Amino acid sequence: MILQPILDLVTICANKGIKQAILSPGSRCAPITLAFARHPDIQCRTISDERSAAFIALGMAQQLDNPVVLVCTSGSAAYNYAPAIAEAYFQQIPLLIITADRPAEWIDQWDGQTIRQSDIYGKHIKTSFNFPDEFSHKDKVWHAHRIVNEAINKANEYPAGPVHINIPLREPFYPESNESFEYNDVRIIDTILASPTLNDVSKIQLKDKLSQHQKILIIPGQQKPNDDIQDILDLLAENQQVVIVSDVISNLQSEKTITFHDHFINSPEIQESLKPDLVISFGKSIISKGLKNFLRASSAEHWHIQPSGYTPDTFQSMSKIIASEPGDFFNLLIGHLPENNTYAKAWKHHDDNIKVKLEKTLNEAAFGEFKAIHKVLKHIPSQAKLHIANSMAIRYVNMLGSRTNEVISNRGTSGIDGSNSTAIGCTFTTKDPVILITGDLAFFYDRNAFWHNYTFSNLRVILLNNHAGGIFRLIEGPSKQAELEEFFETKQQLNASNLAKEFDFEYELILNENDLNQSLGHFFEENTRPKILEIKSESHNNAEILKWVKKEIQKI
């Protein structure tokens, strides 16, 4: 017999706008699974690998701007959600995690599939709830309803994030074959969300403070594209009132913003002319370590804009936290800042110089990962979602300047796990092309992303296979160690041809520049099957090519 409060849980989810659930098979979670699977307004998919399932849900929720439900059985299954939950927490992506559990009296009694699941996700979750384990009193039912409402509200409140409900269940888990499910009306508790705005006094104070600064840098962190904010930033940059330095994950790059900073920000000869006296940031993390170090070494004030929540002191110079929507604040800047031609032109001169030199240098460079990605990006369809794995893949793309596609990357924790699965989750939300650029370690680490029964024919994978973790050749510490290949690069001999056969991908192997040129002419065309373009190279060659490119573009 399925407990009515479990059915009510699903009704509340549906009535509060949750329409997607990712379920992983298990017996203890059967009542929850059946309650979701039989609800007419929720689309359910089953993913056997819980680690992959959680990243798939993350990829969906990131696109939908709405919680996606995760359901798993008790025991270690719940722990496999942890990497994606941490990523969702730092990326501020809403998830509703529901784990089945043993009743409290059976914890620590050597019973099967039993671990300590209460607060299992520690400090990497917004809130955790323990569901009632019996409903003999009406207050228990009232409590259960309240928990579900509060959990969903909490997941959506700024900053959004993952919320956990742990549900202890006793046998029997399965209904009788003729048992009907009744999804009754349940009380809904909604939170009316209001965006903070600057009052007149705050605006006057900020205008006064802004007038004291001449060299203003705006740093957008990781976020989704926003055309309104892009227009405001472009106007400010065009009028030479501020300088906008934007990493690729900001999704706020244009011809008006600075995007080649990774190539010149570390130069001691030019750093002095680029130092700001005020840094204004919004969004989440940035990629560029060089930019972070440059700003930490400057004496600039740092203001951060966000509606609420904790604020990291990333540049070690925080002086103001402005509780506002970014658009509200940036509208304040228009018409209230003086031009600073000298400062704006200094940044633009170096950015334009690198742009010209990099194109010429890459055309002359030997074939390897950097040149391959440079060519691939020129063929990406305009409407495509661009997923980029961590390590060298995201760094290559960031070094190649402005992107107009939406760029998605797991930079909350910056791990290699889950890149494939996040991209698969994205394919479940759109018919647009979803492009994944990934290295071999990230790709093979997450191969279970494709182990399910759902189609994702709009996925295109660009696999950079150098048979190693090539980034370690570019980090000064490990690159000088005798143990580099075995213990840091982790040399491996896999290729994607067998995986392509197993999961019915179209597959092409690229060994040289001519192969790539021929393949790019048709690779992104529509097809009934997903595709993998595997670009083979040597780790040590890639490191030498990147060093050569960086050296060449610094020449006068």
Give the separation between CA 358 and CA 386, rounded to whole angstroms.
22
- Determine the pLDDT at residue 251: 98
pLDDT digits (tens, 9 = 90+) for 168-214: 998 877 787 878 898 999 999 999 888 788 888 998 899 889 988 99
- Give 15 or 239, the one with higher predicted confidence: 15
Are the C-beta atoms of residues 530 and 461 closer than 8 Å to each other?
Answer: yes
Confidence of residue 319 (pLDDT cuts 50, 70, 90): very high
Architecture of domain 4-168: 3-Layer(aba) Sandwich (3.40)
Give the separation between CA 153 and CA 455, rounded to whole angstroms.
32
- Determine the pLDDT at residue 414: 93
Q: Rounded mean pLDDT of the chain? A: 93
Are the C-beta atoms of residues 436 and 457 closer than 8 Å to each other?
Answer: no
- Give 469 or 431, the one with higher predicted confidence: 431
Give the separation between CA 128 and CA 82, rounded to whole angstroms.
13
pTM passes above 0.75: yes
Domain ranges of the chain: 4-168, 200-350, 365-553
Res 121 pLDDT > 60: yes
Res 358 pLDDT > 90: yes
Res 131 pLDDT > 70: yes
pLDDT digits (tens, 9 = 90+) for 397-406: 999 999 999 9
Give the separation between CA 201 and CA 137, rounded to whole angstroms.
53
Residue appearing with tokens 């290699």: 416
- Determine the pLDDT at residue 472: 64
Residue appearing with tokens 């040597």: 538
Could you tell me which of 99, 105, 91, 52 has the C-alpha nearest to residue 75?
Answer: 99
pLDDT digits (tens, 9 = 90+) for 470-516: 666 666 666 667 666 666 667 778 899 999 999 999 999 999 999 99
Taking residues 211-230, report their average pLDDT.
95
- Determine the pLDDT at residue 483: 67
- Determine the pLDDT at residue 307: 93
pLDDT digits (tens, 9 = 90+) for 359-383: 999 999 999 999 999 999 999 999 9
- Determine the pLDDT at residue 129: 97
State what percent of residues in the chain have pLDDT above 90. Answer: 79
- Determine the pLDDT at residue 154: 97
Hey, what amino acid is at 387? H
- Determine the pLDDT at residue 479: 67
CATH fold for the domain made of 200-350:
Rossmann fold (3.40.50)
Residue appearing with tokens 């999961």: 503
Res 276 pLDDT > 80: yes
Res 556 pLDDT > 60: no
How many Cβ atoms sit within 10 Å of the Cβ of residue 227?
8
CATH fold for the domain made of 365-553:
Rossmann fold (3.40.50)
- Determine the pLDDT at residue 106: 80
* Per-state percent for the chain, helix, strand, coil, to nearest 5: 40, 15, 45
- Determine the pLDDT at residue 332: 86
Same fold, 4-168 and 200-350: yes
Confidence of residue 93 (pLDDT cuts 50, 70, 90): very high
Q: Is 477 exposed, middle or buried (0-12, 13-18, 19+ CB in 10 A)?
A: exposed
Helix, strand, or coil here: 30?
helix
Res 340 pLDDT > 80: no
Q: State phi, psi for 101 to the nearest 5 degrees.
A: -150, 165
Give the separation between CA 509 and CA 496, rounded to whole angstroms.
9
Our measurement of the distance from residue 239's CA atom to the centroid of its chain's CA atoms, rounded to an integer in Å, reads 32
